[in-house]
Amino acid sequence: MNEIELVEEAIRKGEGKLGKGGSLIVFTGDKTGRSPKDKHVVREKTTEDKIWWENNRPMSAYHFDTLYSDMLEHQKGKCLYSQALQASIDTNEFFNIEVTTELAWHSLFIRHLLKVPSEELLLDFEPNFKIINCPSFFSDPNRHGCVSKTTIAISFEKKLVLICGTEYAGENKKSVFTLLNFLLPDKSTMPMHCSANHAISDKDDVALFFGLSGTGKTTLSADPDRVLIGDDEHGWSDTGVFNIEGGCYAKTINLSYEDEPEIFSTTEKFATVIENMNYDPVDRSLNFSDPSITENMRCAYPISYIKNSSKSGFGGVPKNIILLTCDAFGVLPPVARLTSAEAIFYFLSGFTSKVAGTEEGIKEPVPTFSTCFGAPFMPQKPEVYGKLLWNRINSKNPVCWLLNTGWSGGSYGEGKRISIDLTRKILKFILSNKTEFETRPDRFFNFSVPLEIDEVPANLLNPQKNWASEEAYDRAAAELKSMFVNNFQQFSSINEKVDGVYSRLKND
């Protein structure tokens, strides 16, 4: 089925309501975010030594087979929807994925988020992997070797993903990303949880934005003065940066036309999936400021709905690598320039705050270390990704940055979150590619902080001066620094330069 048929089918079955412009308004029930604790990888001989088991919950082949058999039995007689889709694994290579869903709107969602093959390619389509999603089936921990009635299970040998017990559509796309995070390193390609754009007149002026959900990947990359390559998942091969996906999945909490016109406009386009948003029952206008269902309200749409998006989904070698963090402690500066070793240290650390709603049970910002800015999607050991990125950075020499979109003037509850307007002014400075500017060394974290940025208050650039009590700032900064040191102990050596960043933090 195509987009028109799937919208019609979802409305006919009562899965959703028609919204403004022909969008589709849907709700996901109890699960309004990902369920990372319910994700499993099957222990298999061919993958046993490659999986990062400290981060990935194992499942036996027997339990996986039982779950698969029970799901197939449950699906008998049901109307199912199947899509033959692709994810990019290089600029001209694709990974074929067959996605079978119980809900018509899930089929529409994944059709937006992945790439639809040409009619010619569909004639000989053979899936490299299959995904089966059945929300109405609930797993049994005793029978299926899982932990709850919700399960996401991956067998790399059987080339199969099983999803049950959740209507949250994001599990579909993140399962694909998990697959490619396992497969792409073997092609010497760096899989990245990041958004990307490039200058309008220069495909080689690429910026990457690493970060967890809620840190600003989608918002900052959808820049009207640059070309959007993609908003969430990319690879970096010898030929450049490419978008793995074919669509965008944007958070809509407090979305406004004034601040984010490109993304806002997609909420009134045909077949855009509007997820977990309250609306006016008469004119179907959306309430962007009402988090009563979840703060993780979202919209899903094809990337072509962004006017200045790339038709090829490809850019050259990055000039700027930006590590986004949302610091709920309020101690990190809004921007810092990093050495290549510091970039790998902060990439592996993956410090940010999980924002409300993105995962089950998250009600307010929670400081966390999510390795590679995407630990739930990383099946291989962190050092694999760290070494890949180190090699890319040191062979191509992009400028690396830490960009904090979190709090300033105090921690969460006391300070204020840095405004999107100020963050954009800082980003404009980064993307200007200035080579000469004055910096100061950060007293706690050693990285280089610009002394002056046009239209950005000086006290914002020096967060200690922005707190009511400098002593309170020092205590919070020392606590965060200690957390970085303790977290980094888990990693094996990447090289002596990255080890040196850790040693300086530990010993200063």
Q: CA gyration radius for the chain?
A: 22
Q: Which of 31, 112, 173, 193 is catalytic?
A: 193
Q: Supply 8's token pair.
A: 């019609």
Q: What are phi and psi of 196, to 5 degrees?
A: -155, 145
Place of tokens 């590679």: 372
Active site residue 193: yes
Active site residue 218: yes
Asked if residue 293 lies in contact with residue 180, where contact means CB atoms within 8 angstroms, the answer is no
Q: Supply 362's token pair.
A: 């998250």
Q: Alpha carbon of 12 to those of 24, 197, 273, 283: distances in Å?
A: 12, 38, 16, 20
Q: Supply 441's token pair.
A: 């060394």
CA-to-CA distance for 279 and 308, rounded, in angstroms?
28
Element at 302 (helix H, strand E): strand 298-302
Active site residue 232: yes
Sites in the chain below the pLDDT cut of 50: none
CATH number for 190-245+312-507 (one of 3.90.228.20, 3.40.1190.10, 3.40.50.620, 3.30.160.340): it is: 3.90.228.20
Active site residue 174: yes
> Can you give the residue ranges of every domain in the chain?
33-187, 190-245+312-507, 249-305
Q: Which of 40, 174, 319, 392 is catalytic?
A: 174
CATH number for 33-187 (one of 3.40.449.10, 3.40.50.300, 3.90.1300.10, 1.20.120.80): it is: 3.40.449.10
> Which residues, in sequence order, are CB contacts of 218 under 8 Å at separation 6+?
195, 231, 232, 248, 249, 250, 251, 263
Q: Which of 150, 218, 405, 448 is catalytic?
A: 218
CA-to-CA distance for 128 and 200, rounded, in angstroms?
35
pLDDT computed for residue 213 by the predictor: 80
Asked if residue 271 lies in contact with residue 24, where contact means CB atoms within 8 angstroms, the answer is yes
Bridge-partner residues for 115, per DSSP?
Answer: 86
CA-to-CA distance for 457 and 269, rounded, in angstroms?
38
Active site residue 198: no
412-415 long-range Cβ contacts below 8 angstroms, 24+ apart: 412/328, 412/329, 412/330, 412/353, 412/364, 412/365, 414/330, 415/330, 415/466, 415/467
CA-to-CA distance for 437 and 282, rounded, in angstroms?
55
- Give residue-wise pLDDT tens across range 130-153: 999 999 999 999 999 999 999 999
Closest by alpha carbon to 388, among 175, 192, 156? 192
Q: Which of 23, 28, 31, 34 is catalytic?
A: 34
Closest by alpha carbon to 368, among 412, 325, 420, 321? 325
- For 249-305, CATH gives 2.170.8.10
Mean pLDDT of the chain: 95
CA-to-CA distance for 387 and 234, rounded, in angstroms?
17
Q: Which of 38, 232, 327, 442 is catalytic?
A: 232
Q: Which of 203, 226, 298, 354 is catalytic?
A: 298
Q: Which of 166, 213, 252, 310 is catalytic?
A: 213
Q: Which of 31, 198, 217, 319 is catalytic?
A: 217
Q: Do domains 190-245+312-507 and 249-305 have the same CATH topology?
A: no
Element at 243 (helix H, strand E): strand 240-243
